A and B are shown apart, each in its own frame.
Chain A
């Protein structure tokens, strides 16, 4: 039993290491997000799980693309937000009301 278990572990070493790394990274991200009191800290945890790959090179690439994608999406979303926003701030309401005035 013991030898069989050791053999199984040696055969699935890469998968087990990936699971270990993912667990450690998600726990660490959760702790840091709670420490910094981020409003939606679960995004950090999700990011660690998404980004973590089987190899170091894969993780570096995924991190890079994740950062680029997030930055691009955030910039794009912010740039399209004002003309179509529905929940209006008082200042927005005042402006739109002024536009509607003859």
Chain B
């Protein structure tokens, strides 16, 4: 029996080591060999019984997964991407302060100093008074005209990658020529974003809020590009982009794995999302076109993050 066990388990264990999806195979072989029912009733009967039982379980599980409140991987992806964006938005404010002013203690602009007790915490929780107490960033042309003078020092674009459950940010040199990011935007992005990217004039600034925002990004993407049905599911080129094109911000989500295997399986460890955030303080043609569509009115929850502006009484 020991020899049989070795002869059966060894090759199946190797197969299971190559592909973890086959880890059931040695278990089944051991059960067929060693189970008292298998030894009593014979291997063939035991194997047939086991196949019937597991087949029944598979059929039932599949039917329930398809019928009882089915959850598709795309929704889970959007939710996890929204969570990643939320984390990034909390980091980008600090990065922006460092890049523009050289110190994370000084605010970017505005009169109120940053308040660490308030920012980044209650605003995203969705609790009562959390989002309301936060005065949204002033994107009016008059305020933006004052920001034209603000130019970041060294790195002008910040690339954020979130994948495999990790979120990290880093600064990079402005993209020149047709970098992959520029190519991505050149094919999918809006003209304003593309120009901003190619010129490298984008100052890194923050991304969005939370899950709701990511869902809105989907809707927005559909609305902006209704002729591209592949934009949501990533049918073409293993790539799906959910773009926040509000005020020149761009967030591109990219499936980097094989779509047929990873994106369909929906497992979080196999989907890696690349998020590239780029924004420009300059109001260029693309942003004007976007703002003429009334995007601010359409997405009142999508307010830019600025940690330095806080008008609550406790912060002053």
A→B interface (CB under 8 Å):
7, 14, 17-18, 20-21, 24-25, 28-29, 32-33, 36, 38-41, 43-48, 50-63, 65-78, 80-87, 89
Contacts and interface: CB of A to CB of B under 8 A. Distances in A.
From DSSP, what is the main secondary structure of chain B's interface residues? helix
Contacts of B60: 25, 28-29, 32, 44, 48
Given A56-B65, A66-B24, A36 B56 contact: yes
27 contacts: A14-B79, A21-B69, A32-B60, A38-B52, A39-B49, A40-B49, A40-B53, A43-B50, A51-B58, A51-B62, A55-B71, A55-B265, A56-B65, A56-B70, A57-B266, A58-B267, A59-B61, A59-B62, A67-B58, A69-B25, A73-B12, A73-B25, A77-B33, A80-B33, A81-B33, A85-B43, A87-B40
Contacts of B27: 73
A20 B64 CA distance: 10
Interface in B1-35: 1, 3-4, 7-8, 11-12, 15, 21-33, 35
Main secondary structure of the interface of A (DSSP, over half): helix
Given A29-B60, A65-B22, A81-B4, A56 B72 contact: yes
A32 B43 CA distance: 24
Contact of A21 (B25, B32, B43, B64): B64
B66 interface: yes
Interface string B233-277: 000000000000000000000000000000111110000000000
A61 B49 contact: no
B165 interface: no
